[in-house]
Structure 1
Amino acid sequence: MGADKPGAVAPAPLLNIANVLTIIRILLVPVFVWLFLRGDTTSQLIATFVFMAAAATDQLDGHLARSRGLITDFGKIADPIADKALVISALLLLSATGLVPWWVTIVIIVRELGITLLRFVMIRRSVMAASRGGKIKTVLQLLFITLMLVPWLGLGLGGVGETMVLIATVVMYAAVAVTVVTGLEYCFSAWRIARSQP
């Protein structure tokens, strides 16, 4: 058997903690949908916690993959799929139940899928890393979705519940604005890269 080349880095194993968390996030999506569709206050509260747990694994698996050298081809493909599946399923449920306007859901879905496709097309020219605005967009989206998922009016909190619904609505419009602006920024960045390279 030949010796490994000096300085060679062994590829990360497919079965690692980062990929396991990504798979768990994918499996949590149908659980979240099923709980939300049950319709009662308790189930919707549990669905909210499931959504929050799944969203938390997104941040955790990315950190582990980068810090421990666990980046794999599977993770590069599965991680964005898991992210989009979680957010899109939540938006569709919220719009179907009248909690979020359909135009909001359509704008966010078109932006997310469009930028994902743009990154795929541009990958041979340049890797388009997530910008600070993109990270803020993600935080705002997850925050407004979480706030919308909580059945505030069904908890019997009176004015507090109505206030939380108002706050959720304000955060929603802020998330939409940042989503559109950062989407345009990515498009402009791709245009500049395309112009600068043959």
Structure 2
Amino acid sequence: MNIPNRITLSRIMLIPFFILLLSYPFDWGVWHIADQSIPIAHLVAVIIFAVASATDWLDGYYARKHQLVTNLGKFLDPMADKLLVSAAFILLVAWEMAPAWVVIIIISREFAVTGLRLVAAGEGTVLAAGQLGKLKTVLQILAIIFLLLHNIPFSAFGLPVDTILLYAALIITIVSGVEYFVKNWHVMGDSK
């Protein structure tokens, strides 16, 4: 297994630790900054999520730079992304930090796009992510990070940056999903 695929697998292996930190009531205390506070378990979960998210860029960069793009990597990389982001959003709903309807739309779009990619792969076609899809990923990651950080440092100023990022991610998720289907609908045609 090459280095980019190992990096991708490391992202998948971080997901259970991330889930555990947000699912089990660890009492490691609270971190205080100015008049704001955040449970230390949430802070550690944010660090794990940020590191795991950064590996998405790292594995792709390394694979392209050293021409190590493989079919396994093409399969594992988007799966790892979807597992990480879906787990984070579901936990945010459980913690009542994100509306369920927003998360349902975001995760549904991911399932739909994955289904389209599977159909295309069956036809021997690889559907690359577009620029809006990449922006969607960045906005989702930033929204998750700031939601988990309880909007620190922006909550001190009354700026709902976490909420703004979440709804921006929702809008771009919808728009990029529609664009992706319009651009690639031809793969859904009958094959002869």
TM-score range, shorter chain: 0.7 to 0.9
1:172 correspondence with 2:166: yes
Partner in structure 1 of residue 131 of structure 2: 132
Moved over 4 A (4+): 192-195
Residue deviations 1:34-74, cap 9 Å, x none? 11224450011000000000000011001111111112222
Partner in structure 2 of residue 98 of structure 1: 96
- Return the match for 1:56 from 54, 57, 60: 54
Secondary structure at the counterpart of residue 129 of structure 1: coil
In the TM superposition, what are the counterparts of 1:1-198 in structure 2 within 5 Å? 14=1, 16-39=2-25, 40=27, 41-123=39-121, 124=123, 126-152=125-151, 160=156, 162-163=158-159, 166-192=160-186
Q: Is this contact kept in 1: 2:136–2:173, CA < 8 A?
A: yes
Secondary structure at the counterpart of residue 191 of structure 1: helix
Q: Is this contact kept in 2: 1:152–1:162, CA < 8 A?
A: no
- Corresponding letter in the other structure for 2:10: I
Count of paired positions: 179
Q: Is this contact kept in 1: 2:151–2:161, CA < 8 A?
A: no
Secondary structure at the counterpart of residue 46 of structure 1: helix
Return 5+ residue gaps in structure 2 as ranges. Answer: 28-38
Larger of the two Rg values belongs to structure: 1
Return 5+ residue gaps in structure 1 as ranges. Answer: 1-13
RMSD: 2.2
Q: What TM-score do the two structures reach when normalised by structure 2?
A: 0.85
Residue deviations 1:72-124, cap 9 Å, x none? 22222221221111000000000011000001111011101110110110232
Q: What TM-score do the two structures reach when normalised by structure 1?
A: 0.82
Instruction: Judging by fraction of residues, say which structure has more strand.
Output: 2
CA separation in 1, counterparts of 2:108 and 2:5?
27
